[in-house]
Structure formats: C-alpha cells, structure tokens
C-alpha cells in the first residue's frame, strides 16, 4: 500500500514544464531524502532523481527535484514525447522501517 | 556493467511456495544493499524487503514478515526471495534492485520476475 500521495495524472504539450507533487509525513519525507523513478509500461523502473535533487549520470537536466517539509516535487521542463511514463516518488519511512512509494503519476505528452 | 539478472516466470497454485533469484554482476556484491519490490498488474510499486549481502540479515515490510524469506549466496552473488502460502493477490512482477546505502535511491533494477498465482 502506497503511503506517499501523488496526483494520478499530469499532462503537457511538447516544450512545456510540468510539476508532479508527492505528499508524505514527518516519518518519511519530513525526515529522509526523496527519490524519483520513471517507468515505461512493461519495463523496470529507473532512478531519475535521488536525495531530493540529485540526478544520476545520464539523466538530462530537464528533470529536477525539490523538497519542503513533508512534500516533494518533480519538475520536467522542455517536455518531450519520450517523457511519457509513470513517475513514482519514494523515501525511507522510519515508522515502518522500510521504503515507501508514491501512488504514481502517469504523464501524457499531448 | 552492472547487471541484476532475475530468474524466469513462475506459476503457482494458491497455498504453494515460490522462490526466485537475483544474480548480481559488474560490481562488488557485498557493498550494495538488495531490495525486493513488487508491482501487481496495473498497480503501483510495493517495497517488500532489504538485505545487506555482506551481513545477510534482511529487513522485511511488516505485511510480509510471516510469509517472505530473503537469503543470499555470496559465492554466486545471488539473492533469493521465497514467498510462502501464495494467494491470488500475490500475482505481480517482482523486481530486485540495489542501493548503496539502505536509505538511498535504487539505482539499478533487475528485469523483473512474473509470479502468477492461479487455481
């Protein structure tokens, strides 16, 4: 069961900027860093952002993460058709001693 | 290159057990945690467990503590996940993934293993 809340969908036209929110609790986002993954249907998730705002090697700087209090956000600027995927946030949760994932947001490029 | 190669699809009847594997290569096996994450059809991601391959003592999500066992074989750099008393709700793709620290992002993922539970 997902503990972090995300909007079910987000959309934009090519070149636009979109934001995806991730709402948590003091025991997870309020204390620990947030990570973001994207997943194309039928494939494994891929790490997009780690430790709130860091990008793994190879991830374009169009993707950026931020966090404030118990909420985090992923921004995708210069939206491209290949950005169509599902996006999940995640964080460690001290109250359950494990990772928790967000509910997922499906991004559509119009 | 880093690779997590998972075992093939499994089909089980309700009440049976299933054991799947995740073989790591391309990095120092004992220096990275291995997680198990599952995804039911059309659903989101559900974290199940974490193990430190160098130590071997796993931490399980509470809902899996009485049904999941995670073990590792350091000689083959392989982590195993066994699920007992399976039910239809366990039908899902099961992924293994690694992280450098227990709280860190999961930076490499296996291809996933489909477990189907059907009468």
Q: Determine how many CB atoms are found less than 10 A away from the CB of residue A95.
A: 12
Residue in this structure with the two tokens 């090519």, named with its chain if needed: A14
What was the pLDDT predicted at B79? 97
What mean pLDDT, rounded, does chain B reach?
96
**Alpha-carbon distance A28 to nearest alpha carbon in chain B (angstroms):** 11
Interatomic CA distance for residues A93 and B15, integer angstroms:
31
What are the backbone angles phi and psi of residue B103, rounded to the nearest 5°? -95, -5
Contacts of B105 in chain A (CB under 8 A): 35, 37, 47, 49-51, 56, 90
- Chain A residue with CA closest to B50: the answer is A98
**What average pLDDT does the segment B16-42 reach?**
97
What was the pLDDT predicted at A2? 65
Interatomic CA distance for residues B111 and B32, integer angstroms:
18
What was the pLDDT predicted at B57? 86
A90 touches chain B (CB under 8 A): yes
What was the pLDDT predicted at A45? 98
What mean pLDDT, rounded, does chain A reach?
96
Where are chain B's structural domains?
Answer: 3-114
The residues near A61 (Cβ < 8 Å, ≥ 6 apart) are: A55
Q: Are A60 and A75 a contacting pair, CB within 8 Å?
A: no
Going by pLDDT thresholds of 50, 70 and 90, the confidence category of residue A65 is: very high
At residue B80, does pLDDT exceed 80?
A: yes
DSSP conformational letter for A83: G
Q: Are A88 and A22 a contacting pair, CB within 8 Å?
A: no
Interatomic CA distance for residues A7 and A53, integer angstroms:
20
At residue A37, does pLDDT exceed 80?
A: yes
What was the pLDDT predicted at A1? 57
At residue B114, does pLDDT exceed 60?
A: yes
A4 touches chain B (CB under 8 A): no
Burial class (CB in 10 A: 0-12, 13-18, 19+), B119: exposed
Interatomic CA distance for residues B14 and B23, integer angstroms:
27
- Chain A residue with CA closest to B114: the answer is A42
What was the pLDDT predicted at B56? 83
Burial class (CB in 10 A: 0-12, 13-18, 19+), B56: middle
Strands B108-109 and B113-117: unpaired
We find that the CATH architecture of domain A9-109 is Sandwich (2.60)
Q: Are B86 and B17 a contacting pair, CB within 8 Å?
A: yes
A56 touches chain B (CB under 8 A): yes
Where are chain A's structural domains?
Answer: 9-109
At residue B72, does pLDDT exceed 70?
A: yes
CATH topology of domain B3-114: Immunoglobulin-like (2.60.40)
At residue A3, does pLDDT exceed 90?
A: no
């Amino acid at each position: 069961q997902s503990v972090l809340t995300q909007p079910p969908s987000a959309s934009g036209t090519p070149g636009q900027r979109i934001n995806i929110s991730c709402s948590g609790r003091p025991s997870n986002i309020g204390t620990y860093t947030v990570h973001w993954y994207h997943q194309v249907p039928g494939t494994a998730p891929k790490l997009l952002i780690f430790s709130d705002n860091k990008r793994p090697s190879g991830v374009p700087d169009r993707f950026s993460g931020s966090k404030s209090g118990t909420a985090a956000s992923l921004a995708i600027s210069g939206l491209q058709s290949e950005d169509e995927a599902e996006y999940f946030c995640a964080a460690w949760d001290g109250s359950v001693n494990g990772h928790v994932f967000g509910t997922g947001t499906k991004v559509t490029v119009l | 290159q880093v690779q997590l190669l998972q075992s093939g699809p499994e089909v089980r009847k309700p009440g049976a057990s299933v054991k799947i594997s995740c073989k790591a290569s391309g990095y120092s096996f004992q220096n990275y945690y291995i997680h198990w994450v599952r995804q039911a059809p059309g659903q989101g991601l559900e974290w199940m467990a974490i193990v430190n391959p160098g130590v071997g003592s796993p931490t399980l999500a509470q809902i899996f503590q009485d049904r999941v066992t995670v073990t590792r074989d350091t000689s083959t750099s392989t982590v195993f996940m066994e699920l007992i008393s399976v039910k239809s709700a366990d039908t899902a793709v099961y992924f293994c993934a690694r992280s450098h620290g227990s709280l860190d992002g999961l930076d490499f993922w296996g291809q996933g293993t489909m477990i189907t539970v059907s009468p």
